[in-house]
Structure formats: C-alpha cells, structure tokens
Structure 1
C-alpha cells in the first residue's frame, strides 16, 4: 500500500444565521456571521500547507436546504482554489443540503466529485505521482429525510481491492439521542463492511467511535451555539505503507463556545461574585487566544448572595458592564483573545436546609418530596411539568417556543419553583410566628 494523506471534514454549515442571540453589537454579530466562511478559508489553507492528496467532506456543506447565494459562491471559490492546487475534493450532501435543494446551476471544478443519490465508488490518486492510493464510496441524501440504513447499500465488493477503502457517510451511528436519526446504522454494520476508514458527518461533536477500522466524526468546523462547545476543526489523516492510520486534529474555528460554572458557596456579597466571574473570563481568554470566546456562565451553589440575584437586576448590570468593556476592547484590538458573555443562567439557591425540610412531617416537606420524586423521573406529558404546560401548548406561538426547551431545562424550572415556594412558605411562617 502506498502512503498518502487526506483531510476529513464535515458539517461546514456555511452562512449559519446564528439566530436567537440577544444583546449582540453589530461588530459581534457580523463576526459571528462570517465565522463559518473564515473556518472554510482555514480548511483550504490547511489542505495547501499540509500538501494533502485529497479532501473528503461528509455532508451539510450548507446550513439550510434554502441555500444562500453567498454560501454557494464562497464554497465555489474555495473549491476553485483547491482545484488550482491540484487537490481533489470528494463530497456528499446530508440532511441540511440534500440534492433536491434549490441551488445555482454551476459547473464544478474538474477535481471535485459530488456523490449522487445512489452509492458509488471512485478511485483517488496520490498528487505527486498520480498513482492510485484509495477507493472512496459515498452517497448523498436525495431529500432531507433519509431514514433508512443506507450504509447497508454501500458496495462491499470494492474492498476486494488492495487499496485503502474510505466510506463517506452522513448518519447517526448507534442512535445518538441528541441528534436526529437520519440514515441510522450501527458500528457493527460499519465494521462488517470491510472498509478501512468511515468518514462520518452529522454529529457535531468530535468522536472516534472505533479504531481498526476507524469510524470517525470530525465534528463541525465552527461551533454555532452554546451546545457546540470546545474546539472545532478537521482531521488530517496519514496512511502509511502498512495501512496504519495516524490522525491529527487541526482547529479551524474563529469563535469558540464555553459553558462554565461559578459558585456562590463562598460569596457573601455580589461584588465577590463579580470578581470570581472576571477571574473566570480572564482564564478563558488565556486559554483561547486566536479567536473570540462566547461564554455562558451558570451560577451554582447555595448562599445568601442568591437572594440578591433572584430578581435578575444585579446579573443584568454585571452583564451590561462586561459587554461594554469588551466591546470597547474589540474596537482597538480586534477579536483575538476576546471574551463575550453570551448570558447568565441562575442555577443557585438560598441557604435553606433542604435535606432537613425533606424529612419534615409538614406541608412543606410533603410538597418537596413530591417535587423530588418528579425531578428523579422523566419529564413527560403526564408529569407535573407536562400537566402545568398543557394549557400553554394550546397557543401556537407558545407551543413553538416550548418545543425547543429540553427536559433538563423543564426540570430546572421545577427545581427553582420548588425552592422559591419553600422560601416563601418559610418566610410566611416566620412572619406569622413573629406577629403571634
């Protein structure tokens, strides 16, 4: 087997709108909207500098089937650069950019191969001498809803070749519950195929599901919201004479998302909390110096400071001041090493003796035990949460809003309501006892 090198990327989601974010300045919003294109440019430059033999992209080049003209033109520009550098690109389309999406009728550069709606196999060559080094099998989604196990349709006869065999597949392997179940398959299905490397797309977190054969999700090249934390990029893959794979991850993102916690356990005044928050932000800025950090901060723990935070005014003031200072810094120094607070989430509580109250033979104790039983179960239609939300679900706008709320977020509502109710009842007991 001849040694060669290629790039595995997926889920570019070009021109993602970064919708639903509030409080952004025009500069921040513009930078976010450009970030997927910057990551694409970095991918192209990486392919050139690493002198790869080819690039594979495993679906979801675009963010929506209603593809923007800007995204198409920028992608074509990137493909033309790679073509001029004599770097072939092999592409499948996924659920966000299926083949039936309306797009420009353009002629692709000669070295670009887009797989059709049926599995097909092509041969890839080494750039320096044109010798065959790999066979690549892939299939694009004909429509956005591909619910069958298309991996079973991939040709196993191609593995009879002595060449390294790569499978391009946009799929949910082993039923990941956090993602839509498109082209569902199992690791067993992929292992039994005889392929050497499965270049997957669809899951946006970086994962190596299996080695020998390699079954790999590179993740997306640019995180787009708070649920896509951590570094984003692609893999450069080296295959040696023995067919051994060496993988190196390369960061491509220019905006990175962080979901962090700050505890109020040892805070006696909001000013102490503010200082802890600033210390956290400085640490994040030092850890990611090449781009913009977008940070959500969860306020955790229990203490007297929680009562000051409950109405939201103090956190709003801290947020406004942090954003003002950072925006001023951006104007002078650009976005590298910058930190923007996406928002706060108040998950803290007051210093109530919850364990003691749970054991009480009282109305408060009974209420808390019912709430705890609910929290330990699954949020569903017949749960307390489900029954409370049912009247609201009759209104279309509210139903649409609530459809994006996770079960964990619903349970957090219940936990907060449980604590607030206990506090109010305890306060009422104390005031009643004083008047008596």
Structure 2
C-alpha cells in the first residue's frame, strides 16, 4: 500500500489485488491518483441542493428506511457521510445511425447529446458538491475513440478537478485499455482502475479518516469473458464500493462480457455496487444496493424512457439517501395509435397529436425523437392508404411538433392499418372471398409454407431490386386484406 498527502491535506491510498501495478500509461495514471485532490479542508459531506434546484425529477427515490442493511460495524475509523455519483455508459461520440433527422437542429442535438449528458452530470456533481464520481465503463462509444471525444472528456474532468471532485473510471468493452488513445494528460483527480487486477483506492477526509474504499477493475480488451467479480473482496474499511462493467445474470440483448451472478457480487461484501453495461436503470438488489445506472443518454429509439445517474449518500456503510436524476439531453419515445374507433383523417390526426402530447409530458423540458405505429382495422384505413395522403399527414404534423418548444421530431410514423373487414366471418362464406380467406389462413398456419409461397411470389422483384428482409406472414395478411377489401368494394 502506498499513501501520499495531497495539497489539500487529504490522502488517497492505493491497493492492488492479485499482483503488482503494471507499468506504462496505466501505471502513470495510478501514480497521479496518489497525488490527486481529495476534499478541501472544512468541506462538508452532505451538500444536496434544494429540491427546486435539482436538474430533473427522480426516477427512483430511495431513502434509508427503504433499504434493509444489517446493523453491524465494519471496523475502521468512523468518518463523515459522503456523497457520490454513479454513472456509466456515456458512449461519447455515438453516431446515432438509422435516424431520419431531416432537420439540422435535430441532427446537431443528436450528435451533441452524449456530450450534453456528460455536462449535465458534471453540473450535477458540482451543484450537489459530491465527493467523487464513479464511471462504470464505456465512457467512450468506441475503442477507436475520436480526439474530439477525448478532449471533451478531459474538459469535463478539469471542471470536476476545479471543484476537488475525484473521478474513478473502470474501462468497459467499448473503451478498453488496448484501444486508441491520444495520451492526453488528465488532471490529477482522475483515477483509472487497473485492468490486470482489482484495484482499490482509499478516499480520506481532511482528518485522515477513511470515507470509503473504492474497488474496481477495467477491461484490457473488448471481449472479456471471464468473471471479474470473483476478484473483488473488501478489506477492513467501514464502507466498500465496487465499480464494474459486467453482464449480471445473462441479461439478453447485451454481450455476455465479464459474466457473473448476483451471488458473486454479494460474496464480495461490498456496501454498494456501481455497475455498468446495461443501458436501462435497474436495481438488482437492495441489501446491499446492487445497481445499473443505465446510460445517461439513450442511444437509439429502443432506449426510450428515463436515462440518468444515481446520486448516493452513504454513512457508516449504509446508503442513507439516493436519488436517480435524469441527464438525457434528447429523449426517445415510442407509441401506438389504433384506428379501430377512428372514422376520419381528422380523428387520426387528433390521436397522433395526443400521442405527441403524452410524450412531451413525460419528457419534461427535453426535446424528443419519436416513433409512432398507426395500427388496427377501421374506416379510416381507406383514406390513409390513398396516394400520398398518409405521408402528407405526417409531414404536416412533423412540422407542427418541430415548431414547438421543446421540439419533438417525428422520426418515423408507419401506416400499419388494415381495412375494416371481418375475416372470421369471411372464413365461413362459401364463395371466392371465403376460398381466399381460407387459403391465406392455411398459409399463415404453416410458417415454412408461408415463406416458400412469398419467396416464389416475389422472386422477380428480388431479382430486380435485391432481396430484402421481410415477414412472410405479414405480407400474406396484407395481401389477403387488400384483395378482400377490393372484392367487397366491387373493384376486382
């Protein structure tokens, strides 16, 4: 263990589990950690801003009474309470592909959104006067991170350094240690965890009492398939915090990097687990608190809902207050409008406008990118399917929503409506319409037959324009409905 007193009279001690500190850039980062700013003399631990000054309304608001923690003394000196921010998955410089942002204002907001979210985290840390910020992986979107992203990150760290706020960073699969680095000199408040073994930093106050021990380990390469959680274990500290980028319990749709179980994390005997990798804020356990903070900025239309970070206050190994504060600069929204009870285009337009209003209400003062599917069977289908009428409706509504403040951009509105047909009734009719309905029913019941039928039907189109991804059942249902609607209307 090594310890040096910094210029503020506080000390940050370093322990490395499982081996010596490797040399090179990573070793230099840890040497800076020992000389980094602690807390200025006289600085208090609890500096929460009044409710009116909070950046966003909380997604979760957890008080000490909500968390069951065994009443035991962990050992070591009893220090003051302290507050920190748990964040992860900033994904600075994310490209936001696949978004039809035809307006420059929308494009610029999306390009800058991850940086804006970082700025909000920094402002929150300064406003709440936290002791440190823990970043649990994927600060950058790519291992080949741009110079712009690195410069913006350093600027944010310098703002925190000016307020004597320490930062502890565990690298993740998107920003592993073997990725590109411009080797920018980071301020002394930034501490990167080792990628070779679990590393421990001790945060001490002006009286040399240890506030907490912060344990973490980063990714040396992108695809870490080993269980890093098994290398964590508390020492004799009164409060232990773990920082890790991992897939706990095999969460689907996320790469199984640093896989571990909830029991693995509990076995480490941490008082708080600050996790990264899953982009949705998730509480895995309350005793001890084991949490994903999610990404501070949603990165695609599937990542709708609130995105932010945890502000946590601890005392004596207990969480005495925690709050989830939203930081997203741009929100994503999805909704569905059913035309079953809508007879006119005006009715559909009103329903779409109401969907936008609901989204705005949930987004607060943040701009939004939204997708809406218009579905169902109804009389309005005919008007919506006539020529370019549906596109005209969407264009007019998009312009209207974009003119409001904050703006809402309708990225995609799909017409998935069907004619007002009673297909079940037609299945029992003994004429051509019944034959058609029954043929379609039999194909839909056999996915393999449906795929073969569609492949044969569109072979010439594939030859001319190239094969496209398609849902055979959906195509058959739509063709059936179009034919039956035309037959019923006497157009066939």
Same fold? TM cut 0.5:
yes
State the superposition RMSD in angstroms: 2.9
Shift in Å at residue 67 of structure 1? 0.7
Deviation at 1:175, TM superposition (A): 1.2
Q: How does 1:250-289 map to 2 (within 5 A)?
A: 250-289=325-364
Which residue does the alignment assign to 1:193?
A: 268
Shift of 1:239: 1.1
Find the counterpart in structure 1 of residue 100 from structure 2. 22
CA contact (8 A) 2:390 2:415 kept: no
The answer to whether the 8 A contact 2:240-2:317 is kept is no
Out of 26, 40, 47, the position equivalent to 2:118 is: 40
Matches within 5 A, 1:117-266: 117-126=195-204, 129-152=207-230, 154-156=231-233, 159-241=234-316, 243-266=318-341
1:257–1:293: 8 Å Cα contact kept in structure 2?
yes
Supply the distance in 1 between the matched residues of 2:407 and 2:306 (Cα, whole angstroms). Answer: 15
SS of the residue 1:244 aligns to: strand
- 1:365 is paired with a residue whose SS is helix
Shift of 1:383: 8.5
1:349 aligned to which of 396, 418, 441 = 418
Give 2:373's aligned residue: 298
Residue range with higher mean Cα deviation, 176-185 or 349-358? 349-358
Give per-residue Cα distances to partners, 1:105-156, cap 9 Å, x unaligned.
122211211112223232332556553122222111111111222222x232
More helix as a share of residues: 1
The one of 133, 138, 155 equivalent to 1:77 is 155
Following superposition, the deviation at residue 288 of structure 1 comes to 2.7
For 1:354 and 1:268, the matched residues in 2 are separated by 19
- 1:88 maps to which residue? 166
Corresponding residue for residue 57 of structure 2: none
Counterpart residue number, 2:444: 371
**Contact kept in structure 1, 2:96 and 2:300, CA below 8 Å:** yes
Change (3 A) 1:242 1:64: closer
User: 1:221, 1:252 within 8 Å by CA — same for their partners in 2?
Assistant: yes
Q: Which moved more, 1:264-273 or 1:20-29?
A: 20-29
1:99 aligns with 2:177: yes
Kindly indicate whether residue 96 of structure 2 is the aligned counterpart of residue 51 of structure 1.
no
**1:188 deviation in Å?**
2.0
Distance across 2 between alignment mates of 1:175 and 1:386 = 35
Aligned 8 A contact 2:443 2:449 in 1: no
Query: Distance in 2 between the 1:418 and 1:79 partners?
Result: 56
Q: Partner residue of 2:409?
A: 340
Structure 2 CA distance, aligned partners of 1:242 and 1:275?
A: 53
Question: Structure 2 stretches of 5 or more lacking a match?
Answer: 1-77
How far apart, in 2, do the equivalents of 1:389 and 1:185 lie? 43
The answer to whether the 8 Å contact 1:87/1:127 transfers is: no
Q: CA deviation at 1:48?
A: 1.0
Could you say if the C-alpha distance between residues 102 and 231 of structure 1 is closer, same or farther in structure 2, counting changes exceeding 3 Å? same
TM-score (norm 1): 0.84
1:431/1:289 CA distance change after superposition, 3 Å: closer
Which has the larger Rg?
A: 2
- Contact 2:337–2:352 (8 Å) recurs in 1: yes
Is the contact made by 1:358 and 1:369 (CA closer than 8 Å) also made in structure 2? no
Structure 1 distance, partners of 2:389, 2:313, is 53
| Equivalent in 464, 480, 492 of residue 422 of structure 1 | 480
The question of whether the paired residues in 1 share the 8 Å contact of 2:376 and 2:418 is answered with yes
| Deviation of the 1:372 alpha carbon | 4.6
Deviation at 1:389, TM superposition (A): 7.5
Query: For residues 160 and 387 of structure 2, what CA distance do their matches in structure 1 show?
Result: 51
In structure 2, the partner of 1:406 is: none
Q: Structure 1 stretches of 5 or more lacking a match?
A: 330-335, 375-381, 403-409
Change beyond 3 A, Cα 1:267–1:130: farther
CA contact (8 A) 1:119 1:137 kept: no
Residues matched between the structures, number: 406
- Whether contact under 8 Å (2:450, 2:473) holds in the other structure is no
Asked if the contact 2:454–2:472 (Cα under 8 Å) also holds between the matched residues in 1, the reply is no
When residues 389 and 89 of structure 1 are mapped into structure 2, their CA distance, relative to the original with a 3 A threshold, is farther
Distance in 2 between the 1:119 and 1:383 partners? Answer: 55
* Post-superposition CA distance 1:275-299 (Å, at most 9, x none): 2111222333344332201111111
- SS of 2:290's partner is strand
CA distance in 1, matches of 2:387, 2:329: 31
